[in-house]
Structure 1
């Protein structure tokens, strides 16, 4: 039960002023601009876009600035803004096979058709602080060309050609993809809704679950079949046109995990798939998503559900950081009536306990 708190308006206004003052910080330091956040804190901006479910780097940068760098608060701001936008249609599925690639790696095949491309990555850096960055030392410009191709085959296509991996899932004719932003979730979920929920789920939560699957808390032996980062075209079908209209390009990260599967009475031994696709450059998130996707397919593949990462309702119900933070942080709101009721209950229980103890002590003394 919540109760109205009167007389706090002035305090709240002052709290907002103090927040704005702390957000600005030392006035002798130049204010950070949105373009600086977009260009130099790009991975944070990408996370806000991905988990906020809105691809707009400038709005995500504004949210990061407004939230003073609190990623979950920034994601909350973007989600709230997103709800005000009109929905005028659904785009066609993006074709990642025709991605303009800036990074593409595989842990399963050394020589890939189209080759591997390291791109911008922390993978080979020494985890040592670089003091030169503190002085804003000049950085040598790198070649920013993006590799383009009409079609770059995936590792899973190679395995599929040899019949070594399950077929890629196809939706039945006439089926409609779900939309978790329009309809409340009802368990069990189809895989399309699960993937939507995972794509906007909290990176840290999914990372912990993904790690658990590799430590024995699910039947998982994964290989990173392929990770690719690059730009894909977004297309929209327009009734007046006999061809899709290209709206623009977005940067995405795609991960295809390849997992062992010993087979069942209906399926031969083969590799199975886990899939991750998120906005921007976010390898850790896409890999975690792919590992969780595979774990959540346990029932479909006839595997025993023994771990948290395989429990669909547990994973999906707790992966959304906006819902999670709302429920945890609501504890800061007034609960005066609730607490007073429980305080009164505990006092009565203690009084009864003391009376019972005294009665017991009296009986023992009499004996």
Structure 2
């Protein structure tokens, strides 16, 4: 037994060494630096920060390098590291109306105050491979960029003036923290939104797509999608007031959904909401669609049995770290379990064969008697 254990340890060490060699790749090619990943693979970095629940571009870039580009593995590394960090306190709620927007669009209002700001987007690009990038061609510099220093009001506020959209709820004073407490059901909206922003982008996208295809009766318009920097403030007890401790880039999406009304509420529009670290448009829109689908009960709507309306199904399967752990553990040794299954199948097959043999014998007895 001792020899087997030592042999297993040596095999694992060799596998780790081989992994490091594969991660480095051809040594005749310059090594990819963390700064290069941070600056040139920003969307991947943003995803790792969002689903890892840690806003640190350098650490996210390092995790991507260590994980050889495996996003879920990088997210796992970030979450594991996050648990080692001390917590000094909580920040004040972010005021996204004060966001310095570099991108702000609305699919519902053409002439919105402040104008449509396209910003850096793939929306209007031709999906053609740019071979100039392979030749390390220089990219033309963009025109001077300006972000509005003035507060930019939310588009839904214009609908709110006429009472055409539900009022945004104030929420709880101190919502539960999913990073410190296990997920429990029933889950209120603040907890659902936390789970959705940490959920796997592909899973959230699939759930959102299902609502658009009729599995949840959720026809939505993008009221507003905005990307920009928001100040983070924290109250310092010794000072007696809040100070700004930094700025973070966020993507915020508010969808506008039709609502036929109820016994207490007139027909109006309702909201779906998504907020994600970095530039993560696909994730924030997906999050807003799923958020709206999960609100069927509080809005007095019918549950049509759609997956996106089942809060336990959505929240229990959206976390890619939990899903990966449960999925990938089956490739680890299960020798004892399989041997028991093997013996069971052999026993069942033996019983079937014996029953068949007995039936054949019974069928042959009358013939012999004649």
The TM-score, its normalising length taken from structure 2, stands at: 0.95
Q: CA deviation at 1:81?
A: 0.4
Corresponding residue SS for 1:313: helix
Q: Return the index of the structure with the highest Cα Rg.
A: 2
Q: How does 1:1-367 map to 2 (within 5 A)?
A: 7-143=7-143, 145-171=145-171, 175-305=173-303, 306-366=305-365
- Superposed CA RMSD in Å reads 1.3
CA distance in 1 between partners of 2:197 and 2:143 (Å): 30
What is the aligned length? 362
Q: CA deviation at 1:171?
A: 2.3
Q: CA deviation at 1:64?
A: 0.4
Q: CA deviation at 1:359?
A: 2.4
Q: CA deviation at 1:333?
A: 1.1
Give a deviation string over 1:143-191, Cα, whole Å, max 9, x none.
Answer: 453412332111110111111111101125xx42110111111111011
CA distance in 1 between partners of 2:339 and 2:144 (Å): 63
CA distance in 1 between partners of 2:272 and 2:123 (Å): 22
> In the alignment, is the contact (CA less than 8 A) between 1:100 and 1:146 conserved in 2?
no
> In the alignment, is the contact (CA less than 8 A) between 2:102 and 2:117 conserved in 1?
yes
Q: CA deviation at 1:238?
A: 1.1
CA distance in 2 between partners of 1:358 and 1:304 (Å): 57
Corresponding residue SS for 2:7: coil
CA distance in 2 between partners of 1:146 and 1:303 (Å): 43
The TM-score, its normalising length taken from structure 1, stands at: 0.96
Give a deviation string over 1:203-252, Cα, whole Å, max 9, x none.
Answer: 00000110000001001110000000000000111111232111110000
Structure 1: give runs of 5+ residues left out of the alignment.
Answer: none
> In the alignment, is the contact (CA less than 8 A) between 1:197 and 1:316 conserved in 2?
yes
Q: CA deviation at 1:30?
A: 0.3
CA distance in 2 between partners of 1:267 and 1:144 (Å): 47
CA distance in 1 between partners of 2:9 and 2:52 (Å): 30
CA distance in 2 between partners of 1:24 and 1:213 (Å): 42
CA distance in 1 between partners of 2:78 and 2:118 (Å): 31
CA distance in 2 between partners of 1:256 and 1:49 (Å): 21
Structure 2: give runs of 5+ residues left out of the alignment.
Answer: none
CA distance in 1 between partners of 2:54 and 2:139 (Å): 31
